[in-house]
């Protein structure tokens, strides 16, 4: 059996990231950016699609691993009968555009025989490069515009279309490998000192982490999630990818395989609050600035997701030469959902910009004209059907959550006028807000079920209804909120976790099951807190923490029947939800109340300057 999703750990340089297995095999790396073609694609195919293993020759070696302090620097320890060594994997922050990946093996006791296999491929494992040995024994791999240089004192010998080596590491001895990427039409990236790079990278992450504020007993879990979010940030623009992977299936062997290496607007406000409430205003502001740039233009052309640079064309295509993770087909590159109409994103954008101004970031009047244009457009289209938050590919409907978020858009615009001094037709907006509220309550609530439903006139439940109280559409004390939470507990919970919806009853275009959606499970805990059921919320939250892998990472979903993670990994949305729920449990000022508008302007924190990680 191959590696499970939870067997992987993420390393990265805030521009791309690699997945390293528990066995020391690097099976996924897109270079030079998160959304570039993969040079190691064995995760979604076969070893010949690219991988790089460094492991003990002794197959019975005891393996353990951890992250170093508050960083994405991974240390894997191999303990054999003859000795102990550690493998440190990391990516230094980029200097002069060069990108490096370092693997450093250090002997701690005795002597351990190690072996490495290296097979680099370009364009998602499809292109075998021409590899030549240089005068300094380094390997140079070139194909078209791509070039990679592997520098090491270990002599790598070719065998078939791979390079291999076997070597002994003794106590206090250090062996290093540095793989560097650059365009083939330029000079090779300059060599770096691996040990100096390690110390500099660790120091930079520790300096960054010092800005964070503690979150009681959950501080460790929160910081690991914050490090993960920072690692998933594309530093040049501030955009945050939903995950560094594509096509890890939501159902083992199924077709729910999507490309998540892009930035979703639906995550905007929760991500903003997660950073701001944790003390990282620089990251929050960088994300807000990316958001502003991405949505600039005609409001009718606003998309649900964008590329790292704000790119809009994310054309979806299938990769025929990759067999898929555990055979799950198809493997997709790009995401056709980018062209879907999802009305909830207007609420997300206006809410994120409003929350930023209310919680310590500068108030930006220049962005207000764009928001007003969005509201003009939304006024004309809010009554139209759309594809909804979950991007189902089963046709447009009047999704309840989408309508709730159009209410949020007008509500935040009204509050921006009232609390921030912006100008706008507030009387008309209040009328529209009231109209939307009545429309949702009349058509989105099923009295027989005692619950808000997935779409108007439907009988299917949807976990997105858990957001109704979190965004302030109705207070937690409203009987409809309470009964909706109880209905979701009865019908959408599986082994203590929450599913998004029942795929057997939802027209989503794919009639296959899926695991429990972890973010929805955190939302349930948030609702339980607001309903005064704190101990139940705490038990659910700590159960969710127990599902993290050995280095604290979460995927998108969890299959309770198989006891394993599913979906793309690690998933930013899951870690954002973890952070916010921890704050809801441990802090007096709770994100669940903060977003709904209970937090007053007088409690705003003063803006402070924070430093970037690099």
pLDDT in tens, 247-274: 999 998 989 899 999 999 988 999 999 9
Q: Are 266 and 281 in contact (CB under 8 A)?
A: no
Question: How many residues can be counted in the chain?
Answer: 614
Distance between CA atoms of residues 56 and 47, nearest Å: 18
Does residue 504 surpass a pLDDT of 70? no
Give the pair of three-digit tokens for residue 199: 């110390």
Nearest Cα to Cα of residue 326 among 267, 389, 253: 253
Cβ count within 10 A of residue 504: 9
CATH number at residue 45: 2.70.98.40
Q: For residue range 92-143, what is the model confidence (pLDDT) as tens digits?
A: 999 877 899 999 999 999 999 999 999 999 999 999 999 999 877 799 999 9
Q: What is the pLDDT of residue 431?
A: 98
* Band of residue 363 on the pLDDT scale cut at 50, 70, 90: confident
Residue 499 resides in a domain? yes
Quickly tell me which residue has 């619950």 as its tokens.
451
Q: For residue range 464-497, what is the model confidence (pLDDT) as tens digits?
A: 999 999 999 999 999 999 999 999 999 999 999 9
Using alpha carbons only, what angle is made at residue 402 by residues 401 and 407, rounded to the nearest 5 degrees? 95
Taking all residues of the chain, what is their mean pLDDT, rounded to a whole number?
93
Does residue 166 surpass a pLDDT of 60? yes
CB contact set of 537 (below 8 Å; sequence gap of 6+): 525, 526, 528, 529, 581, 584, 585
Residue 355 resides in a domain? yes
Q: What is the pLDDT of residue 514?
A: 81
Q: Are residues 172 and 247 in the same domain?
A: no
Distance between CA atoms of residues 514 and 506, nearest Å: 12
Does residue 604 surpass a pLDDT of 50? no
Q: What is the pLDDT of residue 593?
A: 84
Q: What is the pLDDT of residue 607?
A: 39
Range 560-573 average pLDDT: 96
Domain stop point among 141, 157, 187: 187
* Band of residue 611 on the pLDDT scale cut at 50, 70, 90: very low
Q: What is the pLDDT of residue 267?
A: 85
Give the pair of three-digit tokens for residue 77: 């320890």
Q: Are residues 378 and 523 in the same domain?
A: yes
Q: Are 39 and 22 in contact (CB under 8 A)?
A: no
Give just the sign of the alpha carbon dihedral 98, 103, 107, 113: negative
Q: Are residues 321 and 427 in the same domain?
A: yes
Tally of domains in the chain: 2
User: Considering the chain, what percentage of its residues have pLDDT values greater than 90?
Assistant: 86
Does residue 340 surpass a pLDDT of 50? yes
Does residue 602 surpass a pLDDT of 60? no
CB contact set of 563 (below 8 Å; sequence gap of 6+): none
Give the range among 57-61, 358-362, 501-505 with minimum mean pLDDT: 501-505
Range 5-34 average pLDDT: 98
Q: What is the pLDDT of residue 608?
A: 42
Q: What is the pLDDT of residue 511?
A: 59
CB environment 205-214: b (16+ within 10 A), e (fewer): beebbebbee
Give just the sign of the alpha carbon dihedral 531, 533, 538, 544: negative
Q: Are residues 346 and 410 in the same domain?
A: yes
Residue 203 resides in a domain? no
DSSP 567: S
Distance between CA atoms of residues 85 and 65, nearest Å: 12
Range 76-81 average pLDDT: 98
62 has which bridge partners?
Answer: 79
> What domain range includes position 177?
5-187
Give the pair of three-digit tokens for residue 274: 């997660």
Q: Are residues 94 and 213 in the same domain?
A: no
Range 497-514 average pLDDT: 73
What HEC string does 47-112 produce? HHHCEEEEEECCCCCEEEEEECCCCCCEEEEEEECCEEEEEEEECCCCECCEEEEEEEEEEEEEEE
Distance between CA atoms of residues 285 and 281, nearest Å: 6
Give the range among 37-46, 121-130, 216-225, 249-258 with minimum mean pLDDT: 249-258
Range 562-576 average pLDDT: 97
Q: Are residues 171 and 297 in the same domain?
A: no
Range 342-363 average pLDDT: 90
Q: Are residues 317 and 464 in the same domain?
A: yes
Residue 613 resides in a domain? no
CATH number at residue 539: 1.50.10.10
Residue 427 resides in a domain? yes
Residue 566 resides in a domain? yes
CB contact set of 494 (below 8 Å; sequence gap of 6+): 516, 560
Distance between CA atoms of residues 18 and 179, nearest Å: 12
* Band of residue 610 on the pLDDT scale cut at 50, 70, 90: very low
| CA-based end-to-end distance of the chain | 39
Q: For residue range 525-551, what is the model confidence (pLDDT) as tens digits?
A: 999 999 999 999 999 999 999 999 999
User: Considering the chain, what percentage of its residues have pLDDT values greater than 70?
Assistant: 95
Helix 344-358 with 368-381: angle, nearest 10 deg = 150
Domain stop point among 152, 187, 222: 187
The DSSP string of 424-473 is --HHHHHHHHHHHHHHHHHHSEETTTTEE-SBTT-----GGGGHHHHTTS
Q: Are residues 144 and 92 in the same domain?
A: yes
CB-count burial class (<10 Å; 0-12, 13-18, 19+) for 165: middle
Does residue 66 surpass a pLDDT of 70? yes
Does residue 603 surpass a pLDDT of 70? no
Quickly tell me which residue has 């992250």 as its tokens.
67
* Band of residue 508 on the pLDDT scale cut at 50, 70, 90: low
Give the helix, strand, coil percentages of the chain, each rounded to 5: 35, 25, 40
Quickly tell me which residue has 């001094």 as its tokens.
421
Q: Are residues 175 and 222 in the same domain?
A: no
Q: For residue range 400-431, what is the model confidence (pLDDT) as tens digits?
A: 999 999 999 999 999 999 999 999 999 999 99
Does residue 352 surpass a pLDDT of 90? yes
Distance between CA atoms of residues 309 and 198, nearest Å: 28
Domain stop point among 187, 217, 245: 187
Residue 198 resides in a domain? no
Give the range among 154-163, 362-371, 565-574 with minimum mean pLDDT: 362-371
Distance between CA atoms of residues 295 and 312, nearest Å: 10
Residue 199 resides in a domain? no
Give the range among 140-154, 265-279, 361-375, 478-492 with minimum mean pLDDT: 361-375
Distance between CA atoms of residues 223 and 20, nearest Å: 21
Give the range among 89-93, 150-154, 589-593 with minimum mean pLDDT: 589-593
Q: Are residues 53 and 150 in the same domain?
A: yes
Q: Are residues 225 and 156 in the same domain?
A: no
Does residue 337 surpass a pLDDT of 50? yes
Q: Are residues 154 and 226 in the same domain?
A: no
* Band of residue 609 on the pLDDT scale cut at 50, 70, 90: very low
């Amino acid at each position: 059996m191959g590696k499970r999703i939870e067997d992987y750990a993420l390393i990265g340089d805030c521009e791309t990231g690699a997945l390293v297995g528990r066995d020391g095999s690097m099976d996924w790396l897109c270079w030079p950016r998160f959304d570039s073609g993969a040079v190691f694609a064995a995760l979604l195919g076969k070893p010949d699609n690219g991988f790089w293993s460094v492991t003990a020759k002794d197959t019975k070696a005891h393996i353990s691993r951890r992250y170093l302090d508050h960083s994405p620097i991974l240390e894997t320890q191999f303990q054999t009968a003859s000795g102990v060594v550690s493998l440190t994997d990391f990516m230094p922050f980029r200097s002069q555009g060069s990108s490096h990946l370092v693997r450093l093996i250090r002997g701690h006791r005795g002597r351990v025989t190690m072996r490495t296999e290296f097979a680099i491929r370009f364009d998602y494992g499809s292109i075998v490069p021409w590899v030549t040995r240089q005068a300094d024994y380094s390997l140079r791999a070139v194909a078209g515009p791509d070039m990679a240089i592997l520098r090491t004192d270990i002599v790598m010998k070719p065998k078939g279309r791979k390079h291999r080596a076997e070597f002994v590491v003794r106590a206090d001895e250090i062996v290093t490998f540095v793989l560097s990427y650059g365009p083939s039409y330029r000079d090779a990236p300059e060599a770096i000192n691996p040990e100096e790079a390690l110390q500099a990278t660790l120091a930079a992450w520790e300096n960054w982490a010092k800005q964070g504020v503690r979150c009681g007993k959950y501080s460790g879990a929160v910081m690991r999630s914050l490090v993960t979010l920072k690692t998933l940030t594309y530093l040049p623009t501030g955009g945050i990818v939903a995950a560094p992977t594509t096509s890890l299936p939501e159902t083992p062997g199924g077709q729910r395989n999507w490309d998540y290496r892009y930035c979703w607007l639906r995550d905007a406000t929760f991500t903003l609050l997660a950073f701001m409430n944790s003390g990282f205003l620089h990251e929050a502001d960088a994300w807000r600035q990316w958001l502003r740039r991405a949505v600039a233009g005609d409001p009718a052309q606003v998309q649900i997701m964008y590329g790292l640079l704000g790119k809009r064309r994310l054309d979806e295509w299938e990769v025929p030469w990759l067999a898929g993770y555990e055979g799950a087909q198809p493997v997709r590159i790009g995401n056709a959902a980018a062209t879907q109409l999802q009305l909830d994103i207007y609420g997300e954008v206006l809410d994120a910009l409003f929350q930023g101004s209310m919680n310590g970031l500068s108030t930006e009047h220049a962005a207000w004209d764009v928001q007003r244009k969005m509201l003009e457009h939304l006024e004309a289209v809010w009554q139209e059907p759309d594809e909804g938050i979950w991007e189902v590919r089963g046709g447009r409907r009047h999704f309840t959550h989408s309508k709730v978020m159009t209410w949020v858009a007008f509500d935040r615009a009204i509050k921006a006028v009232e609390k921030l001094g912006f100008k706008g037709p507030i009387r008309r907006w209040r009328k529209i807000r009231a109209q939307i509220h009545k429309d949702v309550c009349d058509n989105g609530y099923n009295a027989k079920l005692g619950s808000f439903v997935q779409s108007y006139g439907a009988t299917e439940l949807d976990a997105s209804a858990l957001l109704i109280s979190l965004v302030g559409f109705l207070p937690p004390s409203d009987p409809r909120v309470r009964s909706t939470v109880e209905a979701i507990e009865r019908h959408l919970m599986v082994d203590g976790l929450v599913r998004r919806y029942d795929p057997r009853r939802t027209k989503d275009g794919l009639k296959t099951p899926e695991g429990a959606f972890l973010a929805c499970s955190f939302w349930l805990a948030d609702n339980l807190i607001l309903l005064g059921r704190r101990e139940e919320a705490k038990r659910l939250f700590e159960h969710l923490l127990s599902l993290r892998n050995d280095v604290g990472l979460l995927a998108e979903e969890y299959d309770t029947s198989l006891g394993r993670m599913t979906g793309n990994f690690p998933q930013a949305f899951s870690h954002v939800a973890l952070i916010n729920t921890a704050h809801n449990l441990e802090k007096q000022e709770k994100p669940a109340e903060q977003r709904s508008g209970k937090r007053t302007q007088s409690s705003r924190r003063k803006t402070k300057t924070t430093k970037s990680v690099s």
